[in-house]
A and B are shown apart, each in its own frame.
Chain A
């Protein structure tokens, strides 16, 4: 595996389900991110982790719960979602948190909430 991988690639869930999205980076980076991309909207930053510590929580509802057990893995736990949460969820990683550090994205998970 190379780069940033995400599983599953597609997910359909009901509003009462609990599911998790997984991200793994193989780049030796130490910062990881979750973004949400909805139709006709800019990518929205959700969470930032640096060295497994959350450094940014961008006013995200509590039905989204991130977890970063180590610098290579990032999870997004989902529960009692709403249909408006349907979107493409993208994971990214970077080497450090400086403004010049490029972020590299995974392929995303296309989430549909029924």
Chain B
């Protein structure tokens, strides 16, 4: 069983729509959850993190965490072509990710179409 699972996509959304990216994790003791954006050929860039159940908003981005369901999501409102990238979910803490050992998913490719 993969520790962090993401749908590889591609997820295609029209410009201006809401993009919804999902991630599930297996380690119930996980404490911290991060979303990174990675453009093709570039390194991951941290865009959001969340520690507590519920929603966290930052500009056009909203992270949602449900620890009971072991589920974390990222919503991107008013999607722009510049949002087209691969979005990596990373999980920290817990049994397999103790301390600051991040466990990454394989990423979801997002395409925002004109």
* Contacts from A to B (Cβ < 8 Å): 31, 40-43, 45, 48, 55-56, 88, 90, 94, 96-108
Contacts and interface: CB of A to CB of B under 8 A. Distances in A.
A106 B105 CA distance: 19
B46 interface: yes
Q: Name, among B51, B101, B105, B107, the residue most crowded by chain A CB atoms within 10 Å (CB to CB).
A: B101
A23 B49 CA distance: 24
Q: Which 3 A-B pairs have the closest CB atoms?
A: A99-B93, A42-B104, A43-B104
Nearest to B99: A97
Interface of B: 4, 31-32, 34, 36, 42-46, 49, 51, 88, 90, 92-93, 97, 99-107
B31 A108 contact: no
A99 B45 contact: no
Given A97-B100, A103-B46, 15 more contacts: A31-B100, A41-B106, A43-B88, A43-B102, A45-B101, A48-B100, A88-B43, A90-B43, A90-B44, A94-B100, A96-B100, A99-B97, A100-B32, A100-B51, A107-B43
Given A99-B31, A99-B92, A100-B31, A105 B45 contact: yes
30 contacts: A41-B106, A42-B88, A42-B104, A42-B105, A42-B106, A42-B107, A43-B88, A43-B90, A43-B104, A45-B101, A48-B100, A48-B101, A56-B101, A90-B43, A94-B100, A96-B100, A97-B99, A98-B99, A98-B100, A99-B93, A99-B97, A99-B99, A100-B51, A101-B100, A103-B100, A103-B102, A105-B44, A105-B46, A107-B43, A108-B42
